[in-house]
Structure 1
Amino acid sequence: MSFDLVVLAAGTAANLDDVRAMADRSVGRPRVEGDPDPRVAAFYEDLREGFSDDPAYDGDSPWVTTPLVVGVDHVAMSIVHSPVGDDAVDLVLQLAEKHGLVVYDPQGDEATGLHGDYADAVG
């Protein structure tokens, strides 16, 4: 069993509807060409240091599929329900706050980090 998270470079004026629409456009669609948002690139680099998404990695991984889906304004991931998955979620939230990104949980239709609020999910 797994669950999905999408980390997004949403603007500071974004609301839950904006984040939901951005996530819907980002995931499962052809990739938009261009330079990645520097915050997304830094987030992804830091995340990979904590949990590799190299398909050849043979360690305990929280990822259902690798490599993770990375676009110019997002990183999408499917995470296993397990202790290592819990650790990955903690790291995702920590790094999203560090880099000023929003975390969208499509299962709960919640966003964390809107307007810089990482304490409570909005949903």
Structure 2
Amino acid sequence: MEPDASAEDVGAAFELCRQGEHVDGAPHRKIADFYVAMTSAYPDRNTNGSPWAVTPLHVAIDHVEMKLDEDCPDEVLLAVEELAGKHGLLLFDPQGGTVYPPGAMTS
């Protein structure tokens, strides 16, 4: 998705993902780099005390789906926001339908 994608476009892509519809291929470099950085700080495999409600994280060509445990520390969300901005990625909050452009939450 482009950094200026609308909330409707991002929401539609999220719904396709939930239905199991994905573009085939390796993750985009920005996605792969974000995933490596995120899971270096907060592993998503074979770990107790993980901030993730679902593991491993779902990684596709154009997104990483992360479901945070409701009791995870605020620092995890701050790390997600910081790394998404660093890698030029949108953040989508499916609960509120809000899309945050790269760096919007850390400026």
CA distance in 2 between counterparts of 1:119 and 1:57 reads 28
Question: 2:5 matched to which residue of 1?
Answer: 14
Q: Kindly, what percent of the aligned residue pairs are identical?
A: 32
Q: What letter matches 1:19 in structure 2?
A: V
Secondary structure class of the residue paired with 1:49: helix
For the Cα contact (< 8 Å) 1:27–1:76, is it kept in 2? no
Structure 2 unaligned spans of 5+: none
Secondary structure class of the residue paired with 1:111: strand
Change in Cα spacing, 1:66 to 1:102, as seen in structure 2 (3 Å) is same
CA distance in 1 between counterparts of 2:11 and 2:52 reads 22
For the Cα contact (< 8 Å) 1:93–1:103, is it kept in 2? yes
Question: 1:3 matched to which residue of 2?
Answer: none
CA distance in 1 between counterparts of 2:72 and 2:53 reads 14
CA distance in 1 between counterparts of 2:6 and 2:68 reads 25
Change in Cα spacing, 1:41 to 1:74, as seen in structure 2 (3 Å) is same
Aligned partner of 1:96 among 69, 84, 96: 84
Question: 1:78 matched to which residue of 2?
Answer: 67
Spell out the pairing of 1:26-105 with structure 2 (5 A cutoff): 26-54=17-45, 56-58=46-48, 60-84=49-73, 86-105=74-93
Q: What letter matches 2:87 in structure 1?
A: H
Tell me how large the CA RMSD over aligned residues is. Answer: 1.8
For the Cα contact (< 8 Å) 1:26–1:74, is it kept in 2? no
Is structure 2 residue 104 aligned with structure 1 residue 118? yes
Aligned pair count reads 106
Moved over 6 A (4+): none
Secondary structure class of the residue paired with 2:20: coil
Higher relative contact order (CA 8 A, sep 6+): 1
